[in-house]
Structure 1
Amino acid sequence: MPTRILIEGRPGVGKTTAVRRLATLLHTRDVIGFTTEEIREGGTRIGFALETLDGRRAVLAHAGFPGPPRVGRYGVDLGVMERLALPSLEQASRNPAPGQLVLIDELGRMELAYVPFRETVRSLFGADVDIVATVHAHIDPFTDALKQRSGVAVVRLTQANRDALPEELAARLEHG
């Protein structure tokens, strides 16, 4: 049975840092997916960038983007999800490679605003592929349903465990 891990944490606790560290620790796995990070200007958050694990990067959401959709004060460029996030994830959902691990940071409101992404995530959770994804600790129908699925482990990321968790997950994912 494939490994399914959702790393749940409050904003700012270090989810992105933890999954980036996890990706660097996995030496026997073919890791695909993406991370997101804040874009700051003068100490103020003005947007979010999406970066694939193979190094492609684009601005996903920005206070200056018109939208739609809008998530909070940010307009979201769904084309970034289509061009960068979706291709490798769709391939993994249709034809997962042996030893492949899908890493998604994150299953958040901006990313889930793109319906084909939600559909691909559903397909991935039904495919024979290992998945590690980050989720916010708030209530959301889509992520709450994933958390309730059989075989899904929800791991809380806190300030107390955020430094050790990537190594623990890497050991689990590399050695069973």
Structure 2
Amino acid sequence: MFLENTVVKKNIFLTGKPGIGKTTGIKRIISKLDKSRIKGFITAEKRNRNERTGFLIKTLNDKMAYMAHVNFDTDYKLGKYFVSVENINKFMVQSMNPDKNSLIILDEIGKMECLSEKFKTMVLKVLESSNKVLGTISVSNIKFIKDIHERKDTEILNVNLKNRDKLADKLISSCFLDEFR
């Protein structure tokens, strides 16, 4: 498990069931770091009267757009959600362009995001860069996602009810994030 290894990998992703606290952990970590050295995006649910109606993209430079919504008119549909590949390209892809010495936040790499070829290309560029990457990733049969899970420079941490509160604190205090405090 993370922190028990002598070598810390440069890309760390949280995974686990939907709603388990992956994004909450990422937000908690971001709140403790130097915001001027962080790039990327966070995703969030949009609800209307306790019913999930869509998903928002929130870039770390304060831009926001819908990634998916039940009432969109797009050619891409997953479940009841119509996905805006245009917004993924415009907001997510642009938010993660690697700069020297930045921490790149990718919340999340999932099925909707993988509908964009530009997104997948940029994720690979970021993972191959000298930048450290912290994000969330789904468990999926999609080849792109499975390939990230298997990368040698990437550590995947499973979030569950027992470790979700401690995991963010361990990451915050780890040498992985030292330069971003």
- Quick one: which amino acid aligns to residue 65 of structure 2? A
Q: Deviations over 1:18-49 (max 9, x none)?
A: 11111111238711110111111111111101
The answer to whether the 8 Å contact 1:49/1:60 transfers is: yes
Partner Cα distance (2:86, 2:147) in 1? 26
2:119 aligns to what?
A: 117
Give the superposition deviation at 1:139.
3.1
1:145 aligns with 2:147: yes
Q: How does 1:1-176 map to 2 (within 5 A)?
A: 3-27=10-34, 30-90=37-97, 92=98, 96-98=99-101, 100-172=102-174, 173-175=176-178
In structure 2, how many angstroms separate the alpha carbons of the residues matched to 1:163 and 1:18? Answer: 7
The runs of at least 4 consecutive aligned structure 1 residues that moved more than 2 Å come to 137-140, 173-176
Deviation at 1:66, TM superposition (A): 2.3
Deviation at 1:12, TM superposition (A): 0.9
- TM-score normalised according to structure 2 size: 0.87
**CA–CA distance in structure 1, aligned partners of residues 20 and 114 of structure 2:** 21
TM-score by length of 1: 0.90
* 3-state SS in 2 of match to 1:25: coil
Contact 1:8–1:157 (8 Å) recurs in 2: yes
* SS of residue paired to 1:65: coil
Asked if 1 retains the 8 angstrom alpha-carbon contact of 2:140 and 2:146, the reply is no
Confirm or deny: 8 A CA contact 2:43 2:57 kept in the other structure: yes
Between the aligned partners of 2:159 and 2:117, the Cα distance in structure 1 is 27
Identity of aligned residues (%): 26
Please give the root-mean-square deviation of Cα atoms over the aligned residues, in Å.
1.8
Contiguous gaps of at least 5 residues in structure 1? none
**1:54, CA displacement in angstroms?**
1.8
Deviation sequence 1:49-89 (CA, Å, 0-9, x none): 11001221111100111221111111111121122111232
CA contact (8 A) 1:48 1:62 kept: yes
SS in 1 for 2:109: coil
